[in-house]
Amino acid sequence: MAASAQHVGPTSEEADPPECNRTEPNNDPGTSESESERLEEDAEEEEEPPGPKIRETPQDIQLEAIANTVALHPSRDVLVCGDVDGDVYAFSYSCTDGENRELWSSGHHLKSCRQVRISADGLKLYSVSRDKAVHLLDMERGQLVSRIRGAHGAPINSLLLVDENMLATGDDGGTLKVWDMRKGTAIMDMKNHEDYISDITVDQNKRILLTASGDGTMGVFNLKRRRFELLSEYQSGDLTSVAVMKRGKKVVCGSSEGTVYIFNWNGFGATSDRFALKAESVDCIAPITENIMCTASMDGYIRAINLLPNRVIGCIGQHVGEPVEEIAKSWDSRFLVSCAHDQLIKFWDISGLPKLSVDEYRKRKKKGGRMKSLTKKALGDNDFFSGLVEETEKKEEEEEQEEGDDSDSDSGSD
């Protein structure tokens, strides 16, 4: 085996003064060749560079303007958002670091895009706008297929896909329209609300359409008979969102006052219960299971709520200090996606939510105590601090169990 090259230093008084990191030249050709061979062998033995980082959730997506709305593909890791400039973007998302990709963008709307929805087969995209138009786009390429200009007399605020051929739209003046997209004509055109329609949903049988309105009422419409049924009693503040829960037995409405109003099915005239959150508002609701839903607020927090017993389970995440416009669940129920005024689309891990159970009794909560963090990113992106939060919460839970509590009130919570 060839000897390794040696460092040769100055050996006489005539030698140059020592310098930092100085190496004398080696004129021995045999030694030079052996050194080169050794370096090549070492390079081959070096480990391969580490692959891309795999994250628990995809990276945030930075937008050029505030997104009003976000919708997720029914079978792929793809989302679509619409912004205040009227632009619509499609992105693919991934937990592999740096793998989020913009697929296409569309600028066909003349004013702010209010809502986007993807068809159940994932092939069509519908969007509505402040420009009063309904657009149908090809989901794969983002190309405009058809549009209904002047679909409403006022800016359109809400959109629901009832089935593959029927969609419902609500505008700022309180008018609801139901469209047969095969003909491009409205089969229902009704104005029963005094203010904007904020949200629309439908029962599993596609028979009853429910609307939430800024006038503080929930509207009930019969799709089969194509007629208006009734308005609920007036609630405090605007009704901002509506969803069906408990296997169709309950309907929940969020409000601008931070209260969730609960209706029995077929008891739409008056609420059966209400649940006041310590939140500035309940602007949007995303059902996760039959009992658990996520809500988003102007205060930037995304909360997980259990329905009956009514409990705030904890905090899913937040856009710090920025109002959240919309939240949506991914096709595999792994992520909750949110868009807010910080011009970010964020992803939250909700895969553990369906496994949570909520006790019938309420534990005593310390005054001024913060919500329980349900994800590592819930109260900040720093893993170190999130670990401290988890330890603190565990200690607080142990103290609560020691104290005990016989109170079972359903009054306000965080």
Q: What percent of the chain has pLDDT over 70?
A: 77
CATH of the domain at 141: 2.120.10.30
What's the pLDDT score for residue 51? Answer: 76
Neighbours of 203 (CB within 10 A): 14
Q: What element of type H or E holds 120?
A: none
Residue type, 78: V
The confidence score (pLDDT) of residue 389 equals 42
Residue 309, pLDDT > 60, answer yes
Q: Is the pLDDT of residue 408 over 50?
A: no
| Residue 33 pLDDT | 60
Average pLDDT value over all residues in the chain: 85
- Domain carrying residue 129: 54-150
Q: Which of 35-49, 144-158, 312-326, 390-404 has the lowest mean pLDDT?
A: 390-404
The answer to which of 49-58, 105-114, 197-206, 338-347 has the lowest mean pLDDT is: 49-58
353-365 tens-digit pLDDT:
999 888 765 655 5
Residue type, 340: A
- What is the tens place of the pLDDT at every residue in 142-183? 999 999 999 999 999 999 999 999 999 999 999 999 999 999
Residue 117 lies in a domain: yes
Share above pLDDT 90 across residues of the chain, in percent, rounded to a whole number: 72
Q: Output the pLDDT for position 383.
A: 40
Confidence of residue 48 (pLDDT cuts 50, 70, 90): low
Within a domain: 101: yes
DSSP 8-state secondary structure symbol assigned to residue 383: H
pLDDT reported for residue 376: 79
d(C-alpha 224, C-alpha 232), whole Å: 20
* Residue 113 included in any domain: yes
Whether 139 maps to a domain, the answer reads: yes
From CA 97, how far away is CA 52, in angstroms rounded? 6
Residue 111 DSSP symbol:
S
> In the prediction, which pLDDT does 63 show?
98
pLDDT at 7: 42
Work out the average pLDDT over 136-142. Answer: 97
Give one DSSP letter per residue of 330-354, joined into a string.
-TTSSEEEEEETTSEEEEEE-TTGG
Question: With 60 as the cut, is the pLDDT of residue 69 above it?
Answer: yes
**Beta strands per DSSP E along 110-153:** 113-118, 124-129, 134-138, 144-148
In the predicted model, what is the mean pLDDT of residues 65-70?
Answer: 98
In DSSP terms, which residues pair with 156 in a beta bridge?
A: 171
The whole-angstrom separation of Cα 252 and Cα 5 is 79
CA dist 32 and 247 (Å) reads: 79
pLDDT bucket at 94, cuts 50 / 70 / 90: very high
Domain contains 319? no
pLDDT digits (tens, 9 = 90+) for 13-35: 444 444 444 444 455 544 556 66
Domain count of the fold of the chain: 1
Residue type, 256: S
Residue 3 has pLDDT above 80, yes or no: no
Assess whether pLDDT exceeds 80 at residue 9: no
Asked if residue 90 belongs to a domain, the reply is yes
Residue 316 lies in a domain: no
Tally of helices (H runs) and strands (E runs) in the chain: 2, 28
Looking at residue 5, its pLDDT comes to 42
Under 8 Å between Cβ of 238 and 198: yes
Between 261 and 370, residue with greater pLDDT: 261
The predicted model gives 390-397 an average pLDDT of 45
Query: What b/e string do you get for 337-373 counting C-beta neighbours within 10 Å, with b at 16 or more?
Result: bbbbbbbbbbbbbbeebeeeebeeebeebeeeeebbb
Q: Which helix (H) or strand (E) holds 36?
A: helix 29-45
Q: Residue 83: beta bridge partners?
A: 67
Q: How far apart are CA 391 and CA 387, in angstroms?
A: 6
Q: pLDDT value at position 357?
A: 82
Q: Residue 303: what residue type?
A: R
Q: What is the mean pLDDT of residues 196-221?
A: 98
pLDDT tens track for 241-283: 999 999 999 999 999 999 999 999 999 999 999 999 999 999 9
